[in-house]
């Protein structure tokens, strides 16, 4: 069974151009294509009963987590920019949980934006820890190094240069982060939170 490329209803965004978004969506499409290709290759090489075939399966499987997480991280990211910006409502379950975990929504936001400025390429993520029923922030290198075990990502901020450099230049990373939150549809994040529980 193949993974399907999702379509997103993303309106005009503050700071993030239609051209940048178009190129970014092509990259997401490539992750879907490569994920499906790797699964096909694993199946083919898995039928080869020799050392070369086994080695090929091992190396292709290693690449799978990079491509697959590229699909899933981007789906969270693009979905959060869909259907127009919407605030996180006062008294919502997610806002209450953020306040409980971090002291206030404002404190969490400062921390998360700071996390997003981590040097290197990767993702700033807000996770729901299913085991301990709590929220966790984390930096994920590339797509896959640092993903938290048994946690569901509910907010994903793409901090690879392709996400912002066309519109902001490398020096504009902080403005990109600010604009991301201006464009964010918090209803989508709340849905992710509710589904994760």
Span 62-80, pLDDT tens digits: 899 999 999 999 999 999 9
Q: In sequence order, what are the residues at sequence separation of 6 or more whose Cβ sits closer than 8 angstroms to the Cβ of residue 188?
A: 79, 80, 82, 83
Q: Which of 43-47, 101-105, 128-132 has the lowest mean pLDDT?
A: 43-47
**134-141 vs 151-158, strand pairing mode:** unpaired
The mean pLDDT value for 96-118 works out to 97
pTM for this structure?
A: 0.94
Q: What does the mean pLDDT of the chain come to?
A: 94
Nearest to 163 by CA among 48, 52, 60, 81: 81
| pLDDT level of residue 48 (50, 70, 90 thresholds) | low
Residue that has been written with the tokens 């790797």 in this structure? 38
Q: What confidence score (pLDDT) does residue 57 get?
A: 82
Give me 196's structure tokens.
């994760």
User: What per-residue confidence (pLDDT) applies to 71?
Assistant: 98
> How many other C-beta atoms can be found within 10 angstroms of the C-beta atom of residue 70?
21
How far apart are the C-alpha atoms of 50 and 53, rounded to whole Å?
5
Count of C-beta atoms within a 10 Å radius of residue 78: 21
Residues in the chain: 197
């Amino acid at each position: 069974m193949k993974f399907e490329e999702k379509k997103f209803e993303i309106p005009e965004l503050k700071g993030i151009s239609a051209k940048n978004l178009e190129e970014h969506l092509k990259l997401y499409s490539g992750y879907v294509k490569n994920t499906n290709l790797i699964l096909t290759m694993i199946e083919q090489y898995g039928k080869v009963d020799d050392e070369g075939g086994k080695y090929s399966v091992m190396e292709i499987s290693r690449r799978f987590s990079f491509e697959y997480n590229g699909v899933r991280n981007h789906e969270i990211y693009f979905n959060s920019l869909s259907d127009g910006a919407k605030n996180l409502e006062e008294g919502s379950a997610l806002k209450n949980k953020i306040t409980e975990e971090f002291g206030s929504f404002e404190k969490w936001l400062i921390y998360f934006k700071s996390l997003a400025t981590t040097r290197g390429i990767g993702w700033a993520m807000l996770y729901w820890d299913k085991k301990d029923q709590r929220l966790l922030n984390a930096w994920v290198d590339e797509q896959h190094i640092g993903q938290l075990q048994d946690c569901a990502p509910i907010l994903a901020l793409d901090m690879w240069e392709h996400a912002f450099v066309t519109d902001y230049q490398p020096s504009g990373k902080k403005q990109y982060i600010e604009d991301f939150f201006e464009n964010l549809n918090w209803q989508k994040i709340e849905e992710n939170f509710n589904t994760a529980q």
